[in-house]
Structure 1
Amino acid sequence: MPAAVSVCPHPLDTVTPPVPENLAYSLTVPAALASPAIARAAAGVLLEAHGLRDVAVAALQVVGELASCACRFTATEDVYLSLRYRDDALRITLYDGHPRHTHRRLAAACDARRRSTLLLLACVVRDCEGEWGVGASQESGDGTRMWAVLPRDGARAYGRAV
């Protein structure tokens, strides 16, 4: 009797092991008090799995700050976290349901309030020689997008310094 031959690849034959370059995850969490801690814990596991332990100190601080701000400002029941590693930098994005104000003064006041909430984040990102910002969501629907880019070398140096 001939051996059985399968033309379908086994899933484990095609799995690429986790490396920094294939870190690309998204997570939706409730807009609740516990969610920043949950986001930090999930991000920590993902960074470890992808060999990015050396950026974890800075990255987890940034995830926690962005998640706290998103949960505080959102008008919806959940917020959306995205982690990507591209071009030797970790890209962290949080989307919340707080609509952008159309009135100029209201928009400026809201942005100032949000930025004052993110003062610690600004310091961490600056020390990592990264960048961050706040703006309208680029996804469908209303909302706000907050993001930070942490270059690996800068985040690694930050982690050694603290």
Structure 2
Amino acid sequence: MPMPRCPLAPVFPADFTAPMPETVSYSLTLPAALASPALARATARAVLKAHDLHDMLDPALQVVGELTAVAAQFTESADFYLSLRYRAGTLRVIVYDNHPRHTQPHLATACDTRRRAALRVLGCVCRACDGDWGFGESREPGGGTRMWARLPRESAATYGTDTGRG
């Protein structure tokens, strides 16, 4: 006699919609290790290719690599969190590490200066793509630091080409 199906288990039909840019919504937790930025870039490359965002690969992978390298360096836990989202023609990359914001003003300024210096290449990439970036206190329950970058697809697609943008 077959087992009856659980009455509370919902039936979800398989979604055969092909991946498209608007469905980029991925998150992963990575170990705070030297290999993690390479793993994050490889994952982002696969995601962007699968969702037909080939034209954004170079700047997006640079951004992912920069943010995850800094997170691996700054976090005080065994791991950190990466999020990739694409909405309204813009790729959003967010990384959370658990390095707390300092309450002592001089220490907070020194730490922010160090983090900003570590992210200077990220800043150059974002400016070249008419995007933006930043970091600040995480609003997540565990606290820590949230770093982010936004890359508009239209500008990121021309990244590295000679468009006269310095």
Question: TM-score, normalising length from structure 2?
Answer: 0.88
Report how many aligned residue pairs link the two structures: 154
Instruction: Tell me, in whole angstroms, the C-alpha distance in 1 between the residues paired with 2:78 and 2:45.
Output: 24
Instruction: Tell me, in whole angstroms, the C-alpha distance in 1 between the residues paired with 2:26 and 2:162.
Output: 28
Aligned residue number for residue 42 of structure 2: 41
Displacement, 1:15? 3.5
Displacement, 1:154? 1.1
Label 1:9 to 1:17 Cα distance change in 2 as closer, same or farther (>3 A): farther
Aligned residue number for residue 84 of structure 1: 85
Instruction: Tell me, in whole angstroms, the C-alpha distance in 2 between the residues paired with 1:93 and 1:10.
Output: 30
Report the structure, 1 or 2, having the larger helix content.
Answer: 1
SS at match of 1:99: coil
Deviation string, structure 1 residues 17-58 (Cα, Å, up to 9, x no partner): 210001000010000000000000000000000010100100
Question: TM-score, normalising length from structure 1?
Answer: 0.90
Aligned residue number for residue 68 of structure 1: 69
Displacement, 1:11? 3.6
Unaligned runs of 5+ in 1: 1-7
Tell me if structure 2 keeps the 8 A contact 1:31–1:77: yes
Displacement, 1:115? 0.4
Instruction: Say whether residues 1:125 and 2:159 are aligned partners.
Output: no
Tell me if structure 2 keeps the 8 A contact 1:84–1:90: yes
Identity %, equivalent residues:
56
SS at match of 1:158: coil
Instruction: Tell me, in whole angstroms, the C-alpha distance in 1 between the residues paired with 2:135 and 2:107.
Output: 15
* 1:138 partner amino acid: R
Unaligned runs of 5+ in 2: 1-9
SS at match of 2:99: coil
SS at match of 1:157: coil
* 1:82 partner amino acid: S
Deviation string, structure 1 residues 77-109 (Cα, Å, up to 9, x no partner): 001000000110000000001011111111111
